[in-house]
A and B are shown apart, each in its own frame.
Chain A
Amino acid sequence: MKRYLLPGVLVVLALAYPLLVGDLPVYGRLGALVLLAAIGASAWNIVGGYAGQVSVGHAVFFGFGAYASVVVYTHLGWPPITGAPIGMVLSVALAAAIGVPTLRLSGHYFSMATIAVGELVRVLSSTSDFLGGAQGLGGPAMPRTVFDLSFISATPFYYIFLGVLTFLLGLTWMIERGRMGFYLRAIKDSERAARSLGVSAGRYKLYAYMLSGAFSALAGSLYLCMFGFVDPESGFGILISVKMVVMAALGGAGLLFGPLVGALILVPLEEFSNSLFGGQGAGFTFMIYGAIIVIIARFLPSGLLSLFNRRSTRHVD
């Protein structure tokens, strides 16, 4: 019974959070922002953490999701959320197109190739009139129906994001437990050894990449629904890719709850330091943010969860 106590308390806390902070819109929104960041980082975690393929170009998928949502609104007048499945399907196809040439690369070469592809897509998106060019595109200015998801309160977003994250983590958990998870870990430890055992490394890496891309796109669509605007920088910018990596790595990459823990630390840190120091215009926000990341990396290079989860230290290469 006792071992269910802590998880139980955490689940209740997660469900009740919006009610606890009901009168403080900033905190309600903060909860939603944490969950949204956790969705993106958890999606990245499938290929970056479990399979050990460190993509620094996941903004490509995030941007595809965001743009798919805003494009169905702009060109067809549909509610943005209807673009989510379109963005996910497109991202799976795109992941195949990017993954086939790049996933053969090892280590840092893969990371650099994904950066290049990300920048490529960003530049191209800014030249496309269909995507609103460099000006970007805005979602519905005023809500038309409830399906536009233009809520004043962040609470509906919170529960939508919580649902998506739960689904994604459940799926990841199943993969982790199943054959694919076994293969991915084998590939991460030693691709050559995995191949010699008959694992089709290329195929499983690609599956992981496609799945990861699909959920990154979903994160992008949800972002668009909440913020109502995307331009090349906020959709495809390299900072979006880097933040996904940093969040997962900070919490513990390749661990189910690693990205969520990373988001729980970094998102409030970013918001609070900006709220406290941003107005002075002296750059303290990012000095503090950077320094805390450095300190965590210095003392816990395998992520925060390595403190509690001794098993994770085994994965250190």
Chain B
Amino acid sequence: MNGAKKTINVKVNGESYELSIKPKMTLLQLLRNELGLTGTKQACMDNSCGACTVIVNKMAVKACSVLAMQVNGKEVTTVEGLASKDGKLSILQEAFLEHSAFQCGFCSPGKLMSSTAMLEEMEDPTEEDIRRDMEGNLCRCTGYVQYLAAIKSVVQKRKEGKR
């Protein structure tokens, strides 16, 4: 039957869920409406702005443009999953705070997820790498400088830690 519910199994921020959903549900709707994880933001809804960026199996994706059915059997991380269970912020979250990389803050979860995925993938990204990999995350307040500084500071700390 058209639109009949289907079952998926998905791990979100380390928790396993079995959910019965309509096939037309997007990953964004799943996270926000079914699981109450509203840290992932809904904005352009046409695959442009990056506010809904989450990590699926280590890759940053835009949750508005992925069907929830397509994450069946996969692992999803949202901004709520970045801090440790006892509330300790991730290094990037700390750096975002330190550099005031939030203006209104709406795009920040997406930016945190994109930069987290990037720093997992690349050990020592150049400024050009960072700018290119963050292209898919728009900021309407135009607060681009601060979060670039925040990401660069994490890269720098990593280098120093290695010495």
Indicate, yes or no, whether A interacts with B.
no
